[in-house]
Structure 1
């Protein structure tokens, strides 16, 4: 880089030269080219990334609407960003397909089984298990763990089915049941009926859990961030 000994304080590009100031002195170097904003925005990789982000954004918007019957108590302001991060990661891991192709393949959701979609929830869904043969949901150790802090309250269990129909995702109407958090033992299986499904092969079992004050669908949750949770559920076929 050359130094310009002159009285002008020139900065930036001038023709084929770049001028900059350093320690009160002016330096000049030849412009070597590079990405302009327009070139960057039109780069094929940038276009692919932008379209993928837009696809994920549209999906998350639709999913949040479908989740309302399961997560209407959710008051976590970061929930949208949590969903975006989750599904952007899925898109990143499967670059050979468009995100729209991925969400139509139920196998793409396998990495989400028994993982809470709302990351700040304190309800751990790792022990949930759906038995396709009996159409029962085993809550595992969840009622026992929650009863330690919320004894006397109720665990609302909303079950339903997630699927894709004519290119649109959907969640069936939730089937709510209530389990009183009182007297559960650590090794006790807690079974509840699961919502019936018309097509088990084309749908995934989905569960929403919430700790509530009373066994009523309008009951509030003691902590609408930590005590509300929704997830896809692992399936046992027999």
Structure 2
């Protein structure tokens, strides 16, 4: 960059030169061009990023619709953004494949296993474990932990299967069971049955948990954000 010794305080571009001020002195360099708005928008990397974002957005919209029978109590206004962040991260980690290809592969969901899709939930799903041989779900210490705070209430357990068929996301109708939160012990395994999966291209066990006042679907939850949760479940013997 050249220094201009003159009495003029010129800043910005003038013809083929760029003028700028540093410490009270004027410097000049030749304009080397740059991205115009049109060039930026048409850049191949920008196009790929825009299409990837659009694919994730379409997926999240469809997933939210499928989640309604499981998470209809969810009243967290940030839930959409949470889902977008989760699946954009998956897309970012696997750039050699399209997002639509990724959602058909079981391995793509490994980072989401036993991770609450609604991150503001206070229910920790880390101890959930599905046994493919027995077709049963072990709830681990979740009932015990909840019984400490919500004694004599009920844990609503909605289980089902997540699948992808072509471009369609499919969540089976939830099988709903209730467990009274009263006498669970720390070392006790609480196990529930899961309806066998139907054949499909992609199948993952899925569970939604909610603390409710009574053992029926119409019952309310004591907190519409903290006491509801849904997640993909870690599988044993798959």
Instruction: Give the alignment's TM-score, normalised by structure 1.
Output: 0.90
Residues in 1 aligned to 2:87 and 2:221: alpha-carbon distance in whole angstroms: 27
| Aligned-residue RMSD, C-alpha | 2.1
Corresponding position: 1:49 with 2:49: yes
Contact preservation (8 Å) 1:137, 1:192: yes
The 1:2/1:170 distance shift into structure 2, 3 A limit, reads same
Offset at 1:110?
A: 2.0
Number of equivalent positions: 237
Offset at 1:86?
A: 0.9
DSSP 3-state at the match of 1:122: coil
Residues in 1 aligned to 2:54 and 2:39: alpha-carbon distance in whole angstroms: 20
Offset at 1:98?
A: 0.5
Instruction: Give the alignment's TM-score, normalised by structure 2.
Output: 0.90
Offset at 1:92?
A: 1.3
Contact preservation (8 Å) 1:129, 1:139: yes
Structure 2 residue ranges without an equivalent (≥5): none
DSSP 3-state at the match of 1:67: helix
1:23-45 per-position Cα deviation (integer Å, ceiling 9, x unaligned): 78765443122222222222222
Offset at 1:77?
A: 1.5
1:126-164 per-position Cα deviation (integer Å, ceiling 9, x unaligned): 111112222221111000000111111111100010001
Contact preservation (8 Å) 2:161, 2:197: yes
Contact preservation (8 Å) 2:137, 2:191: yes
Residues in 1 aligned to 2:85 and 2:72: alpha-carbon distance in whole angstroms: 21
Contact preservation (8 Å) 1:104, 1:167: no
Residues in 2 aligned to 1:121 and 1:195: alpha-carbon distance in whole angstroms: 25
Offset at 1:70?
A: 0.9
The 1:21/1:54 distance shift into structure 2, 3 A limit, reads same
Q: For residue 80 of structure 1, what is the aligned residue in structure 2?
A: 80
